[in-house]
């Protein structure tokens, strides 16, 4: 049923993948030859800030994210899963929707929010993805803490 699964994660926030990664892997296994596209998003550098940064700061940021994502996938996704690493840059929800279209995702599996935002039904990125995605979206919540 699902052939292209997109898993957006924040490499610096374990809650963005702790529950979502195992679910995405199980869906890949359950639905036969599926591809798992693991996405992380690098924020755009603010125009004014670039004057104070080295010329290659943006490139180095993207290269660092690519290296970190490759390592994450190598450590956390079984070799039996057809996994692809994708690094995007820009507003998180926009990049998720753009990549979903580009890879032909028929399912997006993502965490609902960061732990600090427990009071919200959905975090702003998850809510926007749910509203605007042209494919199914599975949003996973962390259990409420003490």
Burial profile 40-49: b = 16 or more Cβ within 10 angstroms, e = fewer: bbbeeeeeee
Cβ contact 142:19 at 8 Å: yes
Q: How far apart are CA 125 and CA 133, in angstroms?
A: 12
Alpha carbon separation from 14 to 9, 50, 72, 110, 117 (Å, rounded) = 8, 29, 11, 12, 15
pLDDT of residue 86: 98
- Could you read off the pLDDT of 113-138 as tens digits, one per residue? 655 545 445 577 888 999 999 999 99
- Could you read off the pLDDT of 24-79 as tens digits, one per residue? 999 999 988 899 999 999 877 655 555 566 667 667 888 999 999 999 999 999 99
Give all domains of the chain, ordered by start, each with its CATH number.
4-140 (3.40.50.620)
Considering the entire predicted model, what is its pTM?
Answer: 0.86
């Amino acid at each position: 049923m699902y052939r292209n699964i997109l898993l957006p994660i924040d490499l610096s926030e374990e809650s963005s993948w702790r529950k979502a990664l195992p679910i995405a892997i199980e869906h890949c296994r359950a639905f036969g030859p599926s591809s798992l596209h693991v996405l992380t998003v690098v924020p755009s550098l603010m125009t004014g800030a670039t004057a104070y940064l080295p010329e290659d700061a943006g490139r180095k940021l993207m290269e660092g994210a690519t290296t970190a994502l490759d390592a994450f996938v190598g450590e956390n996704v079984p070799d039996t899963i057809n996994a692809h690493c994708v690094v995007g840059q820009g507003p998180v929800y926009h990049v998720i929707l753009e990549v979903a279209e580009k890879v032909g995702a028929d399912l997006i599996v993502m965490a609902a929010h960061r732990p600090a935002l427990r009071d919200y039904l959905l975090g702003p990125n998850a809510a926007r993805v749910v509203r605007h995605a042209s494919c199914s979206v599975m949003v996973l919540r962390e259990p409420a803490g003490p």
